[in-house]
């Protein structure tokens, strides 16, 4: 009666490998950082759970519907249709993000956009570094975009260019976003003097409602005309912001920045975590991805600071160089770190409104670079 029955095919413990155990330990570390250290808990907690689920043998959470539709796993379906096949989850994140962003600080001082652009230099440094290591151009571009410190953009780009390294680039991007408060301060201290960190910037002007409404419309048309393949990210970002700034659809604005953003973030993080399996991670390219991603992030932070210092040499209107490091896309964490560093030197220096300008510019900048990569590689 039991002929052909195998206990090893029903008990996951018998299939558990050392690689699975290592990955689940990493998942537990993410959960610890999210709960105990409160480091980006909305991302790290579901990623950690996803890593554990994806490394439980025989659980079938990550069975893809393309393999055998009736055996498809819950997370496999979300991963396949949300990222690999349709790639709709990252643009939906941008929709909610747009409804949360305040472009007022950038509109009040438009030149701050150059610091957001300068912070993208890390992406190109990592790109050439990855190519120098002999990685394929699709992998190099996917790894480089980590330097923008923008998880959804990294995931969106990698899903189109190199889905085989999606788990690695996604986890790396969100890990560095969570570690902004640890990575950036040493770079700030090395590249700035105590006097520079004490610079108090002038108060900015009041931005009119008309400017706030026109900005997302103008940016949408201009960017998509120049970089068409940035449209899914930029289009959703600007739509979300218009919902916010129009003032006539408060229920839609509230829904996309709360219920929609929360649910999509949960599903996206679970998918990325679950795809972080031992088979996908335990090889030498993993080291390249995390090392180059860290290099890109560090160079991006430094690039913004150095441009701010150059600005102060040329113009009389001085800026605090700390706002340059906020040019990466980690919103609003990078701006908060710049503000905290300034307040360590002068508790009366309220830098946050100024740092938010380059910070939101960085969101646009990384999405534009992603569009350039996708267009250049003819995706």
Q: Given pLDDT bands bounded at 50, 70 and 90, which one contains residue 358?
A: very high
Contacts by 228-231, CB closer than 8 A, 24 or more apart: 228/371, 228/375, 229/371, 229/374, 229/375, 229/379, 230/367, 230/368, 230/370, 230/371, 230/372, 230/374, 231/371
- Is residue 283 predicted with pLDDT exceeding 90? no
**Does a structural domain hold residue 22?**
no
Average pLDDT, the chain: 92
Q: What pLDDT shows up at residue 74?
A: 86
**Does a structural domain hold residue 262?**
yes
Q: What pLDDT shows up at residue 379?
A: 58
Could you tell me if 150 and 330 are in contact, meaning their C-beta atoms sit under 8 angstroms apart? yes
**Does a structural domain hold residue 56?**
no
Query: Can you give the pTM of this predicted structure?
Result: 0.93
**C-alpha to C-alpha distance for 152 and 115, rounded to whole angstroms:** 21
Q: Given pLDDT bands bounded at 50, 70 and 90, which one contains residue 159?
A: very high
**Does a structural domain hold residue 299?**
yes
Q: Given pLDDT bands bounded at 50, 70 and 90, which one contains residue 309?
A: very high
**Does a structural domain hold residue 280?**
yes
Q: Which residues 6+ apart lie within 8 Å of 324 measured at CB?
A: 115, 118, 119, 301, 303, 304, 305, 306, 307, 308, 309, 358
Mean pLDDT of 146-156: 92
Q: What pLDDT shows up at residue 69?
A: 61
Three-state SS at 139:
helix
Mean pLDDT of 103-112: 94
**Does a structural domain hold residue 42?**
no
Lowest mean pLDDT among 54-58, 186-190, 371-375: 54-58
Mean pLDDT of 31-42: 94
- Tell me how many helices (H) and strands (E) the chain has: 20, 0
Joined together, the tokens standing for residue 84 give: 């690999």
Mean pLDDT of 99-122: 93
- Is residue 9 predicted with pLDDT exceeding 80? no
- Is residue 5 predicted with pLDDT exceeding 60? no
Q: What pLDDT shows up at residue 204?
A: 83
What is the total count of domains within the chain? 1
Closest CA to 362 of 146, 142, 123, 120: 120
Closest CA to 257 of 33, 377, 140, 97: 97
> Per-residue pLDDT tens for 196-238?
999 999 888 899 999 999 999 999 999 999 999 999 999 999 9
Torsion 363-261-217-214 (CA) sign: negative
**Does a structural domain hold residue 312?**
yes
- Is residue 13 predicted with pLDDT exceeding 80? no
**Does a structural domain hold residue 83?**
no
Instruction: Specify the residue for token string 């048309």.
Output: 221
Residue-range definition of the domain harbouring residue 342: 88-376
Could you tell me if 103 and 212 are in contact, meaning their C-beta atoms sit under 8 angstroms apart? yes
Tally the C-alpha atoms within 13 A of residue 74's C-alpha that lie toward its C-beta. Answer: 8
């Amino acid at each position: 009666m039991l002929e052909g029955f195998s206990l090893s095919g029903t008990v996951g413990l018998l299939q558990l490998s050392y690689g699975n155990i290592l990955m689940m330990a990493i998942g537990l570390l993410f959960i610890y950082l999210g709960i105990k250290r409160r480091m980006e808990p909305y991302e790290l907690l579901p990623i950690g759970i996803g890593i554990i689920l994806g490394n439980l043998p025989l659980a079938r959470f990550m069975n893809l519907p393309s393999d055998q539709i009736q055996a498809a796993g819950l997370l496999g379906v979300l991963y396949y249709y949300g990222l690999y096949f349709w790639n709709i989850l990252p643009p939906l994140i941008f929709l909610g993000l747009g409804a949360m962003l305040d472009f007022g600080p950038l509109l009040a001082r438009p030149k701050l956009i150059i610091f957001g652009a300068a912070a993208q230099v890390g992406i190109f440094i990592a790109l050439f570094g990855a190519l120098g290591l002999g990685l394929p151009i699709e992998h190099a571009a996917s790894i480089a975009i980590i330097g923008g410190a923008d998880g959804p953009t990294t995931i969106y780009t990698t899903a189109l260019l190199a889905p085989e390294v999606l788990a690695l680039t996604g986890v790396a991007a969100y890990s560095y976003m969570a570690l902004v408060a640890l990575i950036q301060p040493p770079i700030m201290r090395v590249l700035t003097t105590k006097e520079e960190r004490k610079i108090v910037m002038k108060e900015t002007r009041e931005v009119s409602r008309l400017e706030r409404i026109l900005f997302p419309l103008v940016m949408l048309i201009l960017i998509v005309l120049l970089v068409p393949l940035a449209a899914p990210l930029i289009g959703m970002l600007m739509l979300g912001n218009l919902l916010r700034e129009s003032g006539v659809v408060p229920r839609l604005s509230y829904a996309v920045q709360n219920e929609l953003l929360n649910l999509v973030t949960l599903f996206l993080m679970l998918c990325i975590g679950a795809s972080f399996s031992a088979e996908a991670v335990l090889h030498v390219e993993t080291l390249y991805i995390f090392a180059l991603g860290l290099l890109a992030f560090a160079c991006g932070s430094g690039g913004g600071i150095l441009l701010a210092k150059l600005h102060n040499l040329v113009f009389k209107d001085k800026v605090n160089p700390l706002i340059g490091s906020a040019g990466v896309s980690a919103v609003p964490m990078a701006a908060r770190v710049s503000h905290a560093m300034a307040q360590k030197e002068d508790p009366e220096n309220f830098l946050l409104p100024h740092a938010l300008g380059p910070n939101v510019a960085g969101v646009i900048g990384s999405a534009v670079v992603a569009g350039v990569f996708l267009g250049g590689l003819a995706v």
